[in-house]
Structure 1
């Protein structure tokens, strides 16, 4: 277990601006190499060459390509969390459909810069306890925010706003992950419109009658 942790943890924490720039250059190179060549062919030698550093310099920062992949995944999650914080701080539209569109568009925007890389992050990145804790915290904060919003919005007709919030958050995240990334990405504007319409209809439909007693 200790060896796995050592293989995935960054070796060097930059304390100077120059070292941080080198670390960022290595991560950017890794993102391009994984996207262009895939995980198996995305070797550390290729990444070092793309970053313009020696292989020894790369290993000073990251002990393996799995450590690089984990760092990229963590950065992706951090970017999503930052976007969610900005969304919660901004004034939202009044209409429920427009609010759902903001949620969907924000999530799509965090997944379209490197769609080829996204597929690799989803399928190949290591899942450490620290990363999973970050993902769960992100999801729980999103669900709490959406639940509070649904509970006070006059257009919402669902009775169980907690379950509805979990469905909304999970549906947006999972479908964006599944359908925006290759190998068969959908037309993004059409996907956005259909997802917004689907969730809006779900939230505003009259509750189904319960079973007859």
Structure 2
């Protein structure tokens, strides 16, 4: 991961509900502008106009549009928590269904706007806030996946700690690639192949 770019650090962190709503409105407007006009033409003036705030108000929160995009990435990451893990059936014979729930959750978290996802992948620079969000999300997801499969009776992989890291990386990287850069394969085929691969790996099949 590249070193965080200090020029992307937010200028003001909201401390009141009104300020938080203004910041969120700017981010929502930026997502629309970047998708409609492209990142190069998605200027801070256009973002401010779409958000119905002054350009001065925008600059109170973000020093430039790169910082806005980095904040959009943070919001995307923070919204991607896997909330269904504790309700999954961990009885024998349900490993494939458990893996499918993990893969399906990753797909659902990235199908809202593939164009914006593509822009974030191609253009986002690493702020300290984004780097922290990536690290935090990665640690949480790996711990969640490790704990989940540690309790499943059908898991036979030798090193579950390493396996959890591999699974999270494999699922998320391939899901990002599929949703942001659509291939000839369908989402259904992608899901089935990824579920089958991860399931066989967790079972320790040779």
Q: TM-score higher than 0.5 here? A: yes
Answering whether residue 200 of structure 2 is matched by residue 204 of structure 1, we say no
Moved more, 193-202 or 128-137: 128-137
TM-score, with structure 1 as normaliser: 0.83
Alignment of structure 1 residues 73-88 onto 2, 5 Å: 73-80=73-80, 83-84=81-82, 86-88=83-85
Structure 2: give runs of 5+ residues left out of the alignment.
none
Runs ≥4 residues deviating over 4 A: 183-186
Q: How many residues align?
A: 199
Contact 2:26 2:51 in 1 (8 A): yes
Q: Larger % of helix: which?
A: 1
Contact 1:27 1:72 in 2 (8 A): yes
Q: Which residue of 2 aligns with 1:59?
A: 59
Answering whether residue 194 of structure 2 is matched by residue 170 of structure 1, we say no
SS of residue in 1 equivalent to 2:38: helix
Higher relative contact order (CA 8 A, sep 6+): 2
Alignment of structure 1 residues 32-181 onto 2, 5 Å: 32-80=32-80, 83-84=81-82, 86-88=83-85, 90-94=86-90, 95-181=94-180
1:83-124 Cα shifts (integer Å, max 9, x gaps): 22x234x32123111111111111112111121111121221
CA 120–185 in structure 1, closer or farther in 2 if over 3 Å, else same: farther
Give the Cα separation in 1 of the matches to 2:88 and 2:58: 44
Following superposition, the deviation at residue 15 of structure 1 comes to: 3.8
Alignment of structure 1 residues 1-40 onto 2, 5 Å: 5=6, 7-40=7-40
CA-atom RMSD in angstroms: 2.1
Structure 1: give runs of 5+ residues left out of the alignment.
208-213
